[in-house]
Amino acid sequence: MIAGCAGLAPGPGPVATAQMEPTKGNSATGLLTFAKHGDKVRVFGELRGFVPNTEHGFHSHEKGDSSSGDGLSEARGV
């Protein structure tokens, strides 16, 4: 199992991390790691606070502005 997990390590290319913050009324948090592998980017992470057996999605913003509480600050240019 360890050998299989080693193949999923971030790798030799550039790496960036993003702290996931909950929007107003939500509790999901986590840390994502973005790692370049050749011409691809792999995303690794640990996310917590999701309701089991329901669908979820996420997106990230270049600047990470979550000041509005609804996650749309950057999209609106606030």
In this prediction, residue 9 has a pLDDT band, given cuts at 50, 70 and 90, of low
Per-residue pLDDT at 20: 84
Per-residue pLDDT at 25: 84
Rounded CA-CA distance 39/43 in Å is: 14
Asked if residue 34 has pLDDT above 70, the reply is: yes
Task: Tell me the pLDDT tens digit for each residue of 46-66.
Answer: 989 988 898 887 776 666 666
Nearest CA to 43 among 54, 34, 52? Answer: 34
- Higher per-residue confidence, 43 vs 9: 43
- Model confidence pTM above 0.75: no
